[in-house]
Amino acid sequence: MTGLSIENLSMRFELPNGGHVQALEGVSLDLKAGELLSVLGPSGCGKTTLLNIVAGFLAQTDGKLVLNGHEINGPDAERGMVFQAGALFEWMSVRDNVSFGPRMAGKKKADYMGNVDHLLEIVGLQDFKEKMVYELSGGMQQRVALARCLANDPDVILMDEPLGALDALTREKMQSLVLKLWKETGKTIILITHSVEEALLLGERLIVMAPRPGRIHKEYRLPFADMGVGADLREVKKHPDYAPTREEILNMIWDMEEEIMGTAGEDE
Amino acid sequence: MADTVNLVCTRERLGEVVTELRAGNVPDGQIVGDTFALPAGCEIASGWDTFSYQFGTLGAELWSETKTVMASAASALPSIAFYVIVILACMFIYRAIKSMLTPTRDYTSLKTVTFGDESAVRSDFPASVLSIILIFVIWGSFTGSALLPGFLHLPAPYTGEESFTYTVEDDAGNRDDAEIFVRVVGAGVAESEMVFDEGDGIAKNDGVEIGVYRSENVLWDSNDDVSRRENGARVVAINGQEFDFAFGTDDAGPAPSFDLDFAQVTITDRGSINVVPDQGMQMQPLYLPAPEVVWNRFIEIAKYGYQNVYLTVHLGFSLFRVIVGFMLGAAIGIPLGYAMGLSNWFRGWFDPIVEFMRPVPPLALIPLVIIWFGIGEVGKIFLLFLAALWIMAIAARSGVSGVRITKVHAAYSLGASRWQILRYVIIPNSLPEIFTGARVAMGVCWGTVVAAELVAAEEGIGKMITTASKFQNTDIILLGVIIIGLVGFGIDMLMRWAERSLVPWKGKG
């Protein structure tokens, strides 16, 4: 079977003072190949932990992760990751960053250069190939990060708030780009975000996570991502379902944050 | 029964008492005051007494030293204040001229808030130039340099010929006047016979030649008809100014002293005349040679060498030691730092060693290194190796530790192996830190090599200074200091240039 299946995933950190933190408890999720899942939740709900486990940077304490029929243990080129910022190699040019994966895999230059140039064209950086990454703006750097991830042709792309450090206008443009890349490449994408709008616009599926312990609170299937491909995202926001769903999710997260603040207050 | 006793002795007696006690075999069981006689000048003291005595004397000595230092510092305050006034005066004059000539409207000049705005503070190039010029002006004016126009010189010491009169009276009450001709000659002027007319009368004219910055005791009666010893002759007036002075007695009071135009003339209590020509305010060449003297010495040494060693050889040996020592230190230190940055075990193993050795200044190891390796090249290079080793190890360690985990994660999720991550992520990421460490290490190595050569070497720029100081060749010492400073500056510039061209991504991650 193709796709990613997460079964009853739990993550528990022991603390030096003898206590423990239940970062995730009983998270189960099935993701078909080509789906785009966005993950929302208040701080501390374990969404980054979930992503790190899927990426293979952390080993779960309980549960099972299966991708395309084999279990996940450790990082691998089949699961590419796009970080919020600071993950590019500033000692390399844009082209060398994008071709990093194929180069590490020992592929011949002739085999990957065409694809690298093509990807740089898709993300709109064909004129910046020879530049060093620190010469680019924040938005351009995230385009490089997306292209670098795609150049490695992973089965799953994990995005940890990839647009979180960008200004609002750049962010909107990048959201369209993410949708375009998703449709063109047909990759399975898990996208973590703090922005409810972004989660609604990009997520074909959307899960809202709750903290203490980290778990899936509610799941949505949304039409907006399909509408947004190739269209103006501001038009999508005018859809009659959009605003009510947004309000519902915002209230949900707002209540969770209130609860956290409330109990934190009691602790003191 | 106590088997030891503490004695506190006066400093003068201390050595003798120790010798006495060593020599005399003190049998067990002696009781003070009964069978054991206390050595003279000593007292019995409790342990606390000796302890507090030590700290008491230490405190007293340090306090008196503090007073001396504070007095010296206070005496420098007027000069510092004068210097600050010169700096401010230059600033206001320069700004006034500049704003008259070129009223600028650039970004910084339009800022109203500059105080506290770090970006508005840049190094003013004309200020740097003026500051260097002023150093040479001060240097030149204190040494009477020929490079400066005369009005900038501080008063020079007197040179030339002058004379003054002294009046002699003998036991019989006879009086006569005679002249003393004084010739003050500059350094390096050959001595010559003074030709003068001795005149007549019981006192004859005298002549004396004095080197600049020297003084001379004139035995005026050596050619006179009367003498101090046989006729009780004595000087009663200088240039007609009479004085009364009871020669040869203890309570004679202050010796008569006369401030002539060109010299201070004092009658000694033996009756001779001491002539001290005016010394001016310039410094003696022994203390501070003029800039052109140092420059000429530089040309001379560059051509012919000093003490049979060429300047290039001195410099070449010093640089050779620095480069070899630094290279060895980096060759071991960088892998060590990587190991410490990448492995718990190596971090634990080397942390105590590195953290202990790091604060030990390499200079403190010079005596040990000389004992171990002698004064040859191996010892000095070992010293520089140690100086560079810890700095490079710590720089490499922090370079490795400083890699952002997202970069490592990204590399892993792009399919890189451990070795590939080391080669393509960790090493390039640590290079800026390593270059910073290398700059520091080169600076420390350069300082250390000069100090090591001061202590023991056959050749080297530090050795040149030590040799020159033995011959009081102050110009060569100054020249050496200037060369050391320039070479150190040059090394730092070179390292900065290498850093800019080799790790342009520094600080841009």
Q: Between B3 and B373, whose confidence is greater?
A: B373
Range with the poorest average pLDDT among B17-26, B41-50, B389-398, B440-449 = B17-26
pLDDT band at B484 (very low <50, low <70, confident <90, very high): very high
pLDDT band at B70 (very low <50, low <70, confident <90, very high): very high
B2 has a pLDDT exceeding 60: no
Are B396 and B433 in contact by the 8 Å Cβ rule? The answer is: yes
State pLDDT tens for residues B165-174.
888 888 888 8
Cβ distance B413 to A104 less than 8 Å, yes or no, reads no
> B-chain residues within 8 Å CB-CB of A107?
none
B103 has a pLDDT exceeding 60: yes
Has this prediction a pTM greater than 0.95?
no
Cβ distance B412 to A89 less than 8 Å, yes or no, reads no
State pLDDT tens for residues B299-346.
999 888 888 888 999 999 999 999 999 999 999 999 999 999 999 999
Nearest residue of chain A to residue B432 (CA atoms): A91
Cβ distance A90 to B508 less than 8 Å, yes or no, reads yes
Range with the poorest average pLDDT among A239-248, B108-117, B393-402, B447-456 = B108-117
pLDDT band at B254 (very low <50, low <70, confident <90, very high): confident
A2 has a pLDDT exceeding 80: no
Q: How many angstroms away from the CA of B413 is the closest CA of chain A?
A: 5
Whether B348 and B471 share a structural domain: yes
ipTM of this complex: 0.90
Are B407 and A85 in contact by the 8 Å Cβ rule? The answer is: no
By DSSP bridging, strand B175-185 and strand B160-169 are antiparallel
Domain boundary among B22, B51, B71: B71
pLDDT at position B25 is 63
Domain ranges, residue B260: 160-277
Q: What is the CATH number of the domain that holds B475?
A: 1.10.3720.10
The angle subtended at Cα B20 by Cα B18 and Cα B24, nearest 5°, is 120
* For the ranges A15-29, B268-282, B420-434, the one whose mean pLDDT is highest: B420-434
A266 has a pLDDT exceeding 60: no
Question: Which helix (H) or strand (E) element contains residue B7?
Answer: strand B6-9
Partner A contacted by B507 (CB < 8 A): no
pLDDT band at B250 (very low <50, low <70, confident <90, very high): low
Q: What amino acid is encoded at A38 in this protein?
A: S
pLDDT at position A64 is 85
Cβ distance A104 to B428 less than 8 Å, yes or no, reads no
Mean pLDDT of A141-157: 89
Q: How many angstroms away from the CA of A148 is the closest CA of chain B?
A: 8
Q: How many domains are contained in chain B?
A: 3
State pLDDT tens for residues B197-220.
887 788 888 888 888 888 888 888
Q: Between A96 and B4, whose confidence is greater?
A: A96
Residue in A57, A61, A7, A56 with CA at minimum distance from that of residue A31: A7
pLDDT at position A182 is 87
> A-chain residues within 8 Å CB-CB of B428?
89, 91
Mean pLDDT of A1-29: 84
What is the C-alpha to C-alpha distance for residues A88 and A86, in angstroms, rounded to an integer? Answer: 6
Residue-by-residue DSSP string for B456-497:
S-SSSHHHHHHHHHHTT-HHHHHHHHHHHHHHHHHHHHHHHH
pLDDT at position B31 is 63
Partner A contacted by B501 (CB < 8 A): no
Domain boundary among B71, B95, B122: B71
A265 has a pLDDT exceeding 60: no
> B-chain residues within 8 Å CB-CB of A85?
406
pLDDT at position A28 is 87
Half-sphere exposure of B435 (CA within 13 A, CB side): 21
Are B438 and B389 in contact by the 8 Å Cβ rule? The answer is: no
pLDDT band at B152 (very low <50, low <70, confident <90, very high): confident
Name beta bridge partners: B217: B274
What is the C-alpha to C-alpha distance for residues B394 and B308, in angstroms, rounded to an integer? Answer: 42
Would B105 be classed as within a structural domain?
A: no
Would B235 be classed as within a structural domain?
A: yes
Range with the poorest average pLDDT among A31-40, B45-54, B161-170, B415-424 = B45-54
Mean pLDDT of B256-270: 85
Mean pLDDT of B65-71: 95
What is the C-alpha to C-alpha distance for residues B453 and B363, in angstroms, rounded to an integer? Answer: 11
Nearest residue of chain A to residue B429 (CA atoms): A91
Whether B269 and B327 share a structural domain: no
pLDDT band at A1 (very low <50, low <70, confident <90, very high): low
Residue in B227, B233, B259, B260 with CA at minimum distance from that of residue B247: B233
> A-chain residues within 8 Å CB-CB of B504?
132
pLDDT at position A181 is 85
Structure tokens belonging to residue B192: 């010559």
Whether B271 and B300 share a structural domain: no
Alpha-carbon torsion A91, A94, A95, A98, what sign?
positive
Q: Domain ranges in chain A?
A: 4-78+154-254
Partner A contacted by B500 (CB < 8 A): no
pLDDT at position B199 is 79
What is the C-alpha to C-alpha distance for residues A146 and A159, in angstroms, rounded to an integer? Answer: 9
Half-sphere exposure of B27 (CA within 13 A, CB side): 3
Are B301 and B311 in contact by the 8 Å Cβ rule? The answer is: yes
State pLDDT tens for residues A165-208.
888 888 888 888 888 888 888 888 999 988 888 888 888 888 88
pLDDT at position A267 is 44
- Asked: is A4-78+154-254 a CATH 3.20.20.70 domain? The reply is no
As a residue count, chain B comes to 509
pLDDT at position B11 is 76
Residue in B257, B289, B285 with CA at minimum distance from that of residue B273: B257
Are B369 and B383 in contact by the 8 Å Cβ rule? The answer is: yes
State pLDDT tens for residues B110-131.
777 777 777 777 888 889 999 9
A268 has a pLDDT exceeding 50: no
What is the C-alpha to C-alpha distance for residues B202 and B213, in angstroms, rounded to an integer? Answer: 32
pLDDT at position B420 is 92
B30 has a pLDDT exceeding 80: no
Residue in B324, B332, B214, B227 with CA at minimum distance from that of residue B272: B227
Q: Which candidate from B404, B409, B414 shows the least CB-CB separation from A101?
A: B414
Would B126 be classed as within a structural domain?
A: no
Q: How many angstroms away from the CA of A208 is the closest CA of chain B?
A: 25
> A-chain residues within 8 Å CB-CB of B409?
55, 57, 75, 81, 83, 87
Percent of chain A's residues with pLDDT above 70: 97
Q: What's phi and psi for B436, nearest 5 deg?
A: -60, -45
Cβ distance B415 to A79 less than 8 Å, yes or no, reads no
Q: Which candidate from A89, A132, A134 shows the least CB-CB separation from B407?
A: A89
Whether B206 and B327 share a structural domain: no
pLDDT at position B251 is 67
State pLDDT tens for residues A197-231.
888 888 888 888 888 888 888 888 888 877 777 77
Domain boundary among B242, B277, B312: B277
* CA-to-CA separations, A94 to B29, B369, B499, B500, in angstroms, rounded: 90, 51, 22, 20
Partner A contacted by B503 (CB < 8 A): yes
Cβ distance B413 to A77 less than 8 Å, yes or no, reads yes
> A-chain residues within 8 Å CB-CB of B414?
77, 80, 100-101, 104, 148-149, 152
Q: What amino acid is encoded at B295 in this protein?
A: W
Residue A37 neighbours by CB under 8 Å, 6+ apart: A29, A31, A189, A190, A191, A203, A204, A205, A206, A207
Q: Return residues 404-463 of B near A (CB < 8 Å).
A: 404, 406-407, 409-417, 420, 424-425, 428-429, 431
Q: Between B185 and B411, whose confidence is greater?
A: B411
- Quickly count: other Cβ atoms within 10 Å of residue B230's Cβ: 10
Are A65 and A9 in contact by the 8 Å Cβ rule? The answer is: yes
B289 has a pLDDT exceeding 70: yes
What is the C-alpha to C-alpha distance for residues A147 and A112, in angstroms, rounded to an integer? Answer: 13
Question: Taking all residues of chain B, what is their mean pLDDT, rounded to a whole number?
Answer: 86
Q: What's phi and psi for B293, nearest 5 deg?
A: -65, -45
pLDDT band at B27 (very low <50, low <70, confident <90, very high): low
